[in-house]
Homo-oligomer: A and B are copies of this chain.
Amino acid sequence: MGEPIYITIVEDIKQQINYGTLKPGDMISSENLLCDMYKVSRMTVRKSLTVLATEGYIYSVPGKGNFVKEPNQDKYILYFNEMDSIEGSIEETQLLDVNIIKPNLETIFNLQIPKSKRVVVVRRLMYIDEVPVAYDIKYIPYYRGMPIVEKEIHYATFPEIVAKKKSLFAIKKELTIKVQKSNEDITNNLKLNNNDWVMTIEQKLLDELNQPIGWGVTYFLGEYFQLQAVSSFIDKSNNIY
């Protein structure tokens, strides 16, 4: 035993939900009733309900009660990192070049910058068994005094490159995953046949004000690419209603 009371309550209620005794939409016993049932104080009951809420099992409606939530079946946790989300992990990374360019329309759009603003472009090639398996291009708005140190960029992931000063906590990221026919640039770098398909992962980095601070694309050889995701009921906002 030794298990805290509040955990016991959590597991009791979870079981009722998992086995269908309590169904989505059902109201669970009121906090005062649970206090009586378990002979505990209200704060202890509320601790249990908080756990259930953050794990996505219930939500509460002030003045009414706590209710079983409709599980979000479509929500998954995905782990991705362009440096090791590949089968067998990258063995070698080649820094092709680092340039400062005038952005094209796509880059202007994705970085939300004026067209006069210069952009740093970093291009890398990743190898497994001497075979190029991924081709990576990143765009970062250039600012004066920006340190462009090749050694640092060589092995770094995107957030590490961009967030020299900012806390990594402040960075939001958006991924877009798709397949596309390779263009000439990709074909040359990944040594493909024309019209071969590549897995494409687009990364957009945003700061705390949702301003883009970096944009990049990684093209993966299909044979070497795979992502895993697992279901998740966790819910950031505890008080959805």
Residue interface mask A160-176, B partner, CB < 8 A = 1: 00000111111111111
- Chain B binder among A16-24, A98-106, A116-124, A144-152: A16-24
**Contacts known (A73-B157, A159-B73, A222-B180); A78 close to B229, Cβ less than 8 A:** yes
Interface residues on A, range: 35 or more
Q: Which residues of B contact A57 (CB under 8 A)?
A: 169
This protein's copies in its complex: 2
A47 nearest in chain B by CB position: B50
Q: Is A96 an interface residue (CB 8 A)?
A: no
B77, B166, B226: the one within 8 Å of A75 (CB): B77
For residue A17, give the distance in angstroms from its CB to the closest CB of chain B: 5
**Quick check: B50 and A175 within 8 Å, CB to CB?**
no
Q: Which residues of B contact A180 (CB under 8 A)?
A: 222
B80, B81, B230, B231: the one within 8 Å of A229 (CB): B80
Q: Is A71 an interface residue (CB 8 A)?
A: yes
B17, B159, B167, B181: the one within 8 Å of A19 (CB): B167
Binding site for B on A (CB under 8 A): 14, 17-20, 23, 43, 50, 54-55, 57, 71, 73-81, 85, 157, 159, 165-181, 196-197, 199, 208, 222, 225-234, 236
